[in-house]
A and B are shown apart, each in its own frame.
Chain A
């Protein structure tokens, strides 16, 4: 063997074996394409679930960044009631509380369009706020929000085919109609937050729902030292026993329990997909077909080493699993970030009436891709090699004794 051949041989050896592997795969086209589709489908489901949940958690963190540290709700007979503003003083006096503010918000069902809107009265202090990292949710031109006008979210504009200058007729608590003019539409980093949102002036809100000036929907509490949040919350319960403080961390925990690896829909999707994968890999690991065994016998008889056969099967597993992996991941990306999680949307989002055009911000980390890789490509490749190793260590003379049939 000359020097040049020696230098090239390891690459040529791989190339030769890959050539054989590809032609092997092509020979069993129907079987392998079926296998590839099934495999890609499992990766697609897993990847979609991972992308969806991590992105929705990311959205949640965006939302929570703008959420007050503590929200205090008034309770009556175990239900959320209007908060009397006179009680705000008692909360203000709790040690550690920096600021207290009443909020006005509610839901409005538009029976004409069959859509549910979230109505919020923007807090006075925030109405002039410019978009910043601290207030990432939405912003609007506060000057536009005069009495008789509203600012609407993109979903509301889309569903009602509304634009600046149009009016929405709201039916008030007493059956009378209140026309409110669209002054602007919201721009937002997360449509999940703002899609069904309508910003409304305080006066119009109170008129619409007949809420007296002494009441708010709930109150928000800012705490001086974030580490004291639980203490402050428990102090509020002591001062006002008929209230329920909701801490920001609790919301985060709720999101986590719904969307993390171990909770909610994720566990259902993951366990189903992993179970399918285990059955699939087990089928591969449990043995080779008689035809494959015979082929391995022939290869050994014509001079292939055990390691050559294993290398060939490794490439076979790697080609199938990498193709399925990339196809599954790309399809999942398209599914989650471009088609708005078409399949998961109704199951996971729980938006009851007005579906936001749910374009999640693409968020993929290397960690997710590596996790997915180790969940799929690695076990499949091993599952392909193990039975081959068992078949490949047989003496090559077995092929000599085969009748060939």
Chain B
């Protein structure tokens, strides 16, 4: 369970350009469910995802992960929680050009010190699960949009996280690929993973596999629907 208690995020505090991205959010996100943060751009979805995923800290308020408060932890601990507990799928695949698919997938696990052979085996298995293992040695710039996103998903799963965070994952996908993505999300749910998606794509928000939709606007929650 992820609990947010009156979470605020202010950028450039004290300066003329001060901007409040989140204005006091209180929210509970249940385990093994698919939650969608829905809202127009500028509503604070990505900022909220970053705070949930330990990528940034709130200016005020508390974040609890399985009952443990994590909002005040120093960067090292946050990173540790992030890389073991969270997998990120970005709006664009964010793969490193010039490197092979396999290397990109193994990237998040390098600093963890797992034996190379075991890591490689796991990465190949992941690529296999998403039908991109034939591309393992290809450079990422040679991939199609759909393949690149699947590789990014395998990378997000390499450390076997409990929570998958996806920021506008269908923004650059056509309808067919978007449906495929939602099938992948369904499988995550079956495997018992918690999925949090920021999106305003109706195809995502209205999907039958989504358990809860949080409506956001101007850094606040407008309502929640299940």
With contacts A5-B114, A8-B113, A9-B114 taken as known, whether A302 is within 8 angstroms of B167 at the C-beta atoms is no
> A14-22, A57-65, A82-90, A134-142: which lies at the B interface?
A14-22
Residue contact B115 to A404, C-beta cutoff 8 Å: no
Q: Could you tell me if A403 and B99 are in contact, using CB atoms closer than 8 angstroms? A: no
CB within 8 Å for A17 and B99 given contacts A400-B167, A402-B94, A404-B90: no
Chain B residue contacts of A308, Cβ below 8 A: 110-111
* Cα distance A354–B154 in the bound complex, in angstroms: 72
Query: Quick check: A301 and B107 within 8 Å, CB to CB?
Result: no
**Contact call B82/A303, Cβ cutoff below 8 A:** yes
A289 to chain B, nearest CB (A): 13
Interface residues of B, CB < 8 Å — how many? 38
Q: How far is the CA of A9 from the CA of B119 in the complex (A)?
A: 12
Interface-located stretch among B24-32, B49-57, B183-191: B49-57
In angstroms, Cα B95 to Cα A283, docked, is: 27
* A395–B97 alpha-carbon span in the complex (Å): 22
CB distance from A10 to the nearest CB of B (A): 6
**A242 interface contact, C-beta 8 A:** no
Known A9-B112, A302-B108; contact A20-B103, beta-carbon cutoff 8 A: yes
**Other-chain contact of A305, B79, B99, B113 (Cβ < 8 Å):** B79
Across the interface, do A17 and B111 meet the contact criterion of CB distance under 8 Å? yes
Interface assignment of A27: CB less than 8 Å from any CB of chain B: yes
A302 contacts B88, CB within 8 Å? yes
B50 with A16: CB separation less than 8 A? no
Report the bound CA distance from A404 to B93 in whole Å: 8
Chain A: which residue is nearest B171 at the CB level?
Answer: A403
Across the interface, B110 reaches (CB within 8 A) one of A16, A301, A402, namely A16
In B47-86, which residues have CB < 8 Å from any A CB? 47, 49-50, 55-56, 75-76, 79, 82-83
B106-133 vs A, Cβ < 8 Å mask (1 yes, 0 no): 1111111111100100000000000000
Contact yes or no, B155 A302, CB < 8 A: yes
- Residue among A8, A307, A396 having the largest count of chain B Cβ atoms under 10 Å: A396
- Report chain B residues within 8 Å CB of A403: 91-92
Q: Is A299 an interface residue (CB 8 A)?
A: yes
Smallest CB separation, A285 vs chain B (Å): 23
Indicate if the CB atoms of B94 and A404 lie closer than 8 Å: yes
Best-buried of B83, B107, B111, B119 by chain A (most CB within 10 Å):
B111
Residues of A contacting B83 in the complex (Cβ-Cβ under 8 angstroms): 302-304
Interface contact B93-A23, CB-CB below 8 Å: no
Q: Which residues of A contact B88 (CB under 8 A)?
A: 301-302, 400
Query: Using Cβ atoms and an 8 Å threshold, which residues of chain B touch A399?
Result: 90, 94
Q: For chain A, what secondary structure do more than half of its interface residues adopt (helix, strand, loop), or is it mixed?
A: helix
Q: Does A397 contact B (CB under 8 A)?
A: yes
Are A13 and B111 also in contact (CB < 8 A) when A305-B75, A306-B75, A400-B49 are?
yes
In the complex the two chains form, what is the Cα distance from A302 to B107 in whole Å? 8
Q: Is A249 an interface residue (CB 8 A)?
A: no
**Contact residues of A between 354 and 405, Cβ < 8 Å to B:** 395-397, 399-405
Residues of A within 8 A of B50 (CB): 395, 397, 400
Decide: A303 near B92, CB < 8 A? Known: A395-B55, A395-B56, A400-B50: no
Pairwise interchain contact B90-A400, C-beta atoms closer than 8 A: yes
**Distance to closest chain A CB from B140 (angstroms):** 11
List, in ascending order, chain B residues with CB within 8 A of A299's CB.
Answer: 107
A12-B115 contact given A27-B98, A400-B50, CB 8 Å threshold: yes
Q: Are the CB atoms of B114 and A12 closer together than 8 Å?
A: yes
In the complex with contacts A302-B155, A303-B108, A306-B75, A404-B103 CB distance below 8 A: no
A5 touches B94 (CB 8 A): no
Q: Does A298 make an interface contact (CB < 8 A)? A: yes
Q: Which residues of A contact B82 (CB under 8 A)?
A: 303, 396
Q: Return the chain B residue nearest A10 by Cβ.
A: B113
Chain A residue nearest to B139 (CB atoms) is A27
Contact A397 B94 (CB under 8 A): no
Pick from A15, A27, A301: contact of B55, CB under 8 Å = A301
CA distance A197 to B200 in the complex (A): 93
From known contacts A305-B75, A308-B111, infer whether A12 and B116 are also in contact, taking CB-CB under 8 Å: yes
Q: A305 to B94: give the CA distance in the assembly, Å.
A: 17
A146 within 8 Å of B by Cβ?
no
Closest to A308 in B: B111
- Asked if B46 is at the interface of the complex by the 8 Å CB criterion, the answer is yes
Q: Which residues of B have CB within 8 Å of A295?
A: 96
Smallest Cβ distance from A149 to chain B, in angstroms? 74
CB of A60, distance to nearest CB on chain B (Å) = 53
B55/A17 in contact, CB under 8 A: no
Q: What distance in Å separates the Cβ of A241 from its nearest Cβ neighbour in chain B? A: 79
Q: What would 14 A/B residue contacts be, using CB atoms closer than 8 Å? A: A5-B113, A10-B113, A12-B115, A13-B113, A16-B106, A17-B111, A23-B103, A298-B95, A302-B155, A303-B111, A304-B111, A308-B111, A400-B167, A401-B46
Please give 10 more A-B residue pairs, beta carbons under 8 A apart, in addition to A298-B95, A400-B49: A16-B109, A28-B98, A291-B97, A301-B55, A302-B108, A303-B83, A303-B111, A304-B83, A397-B50, A404-B92
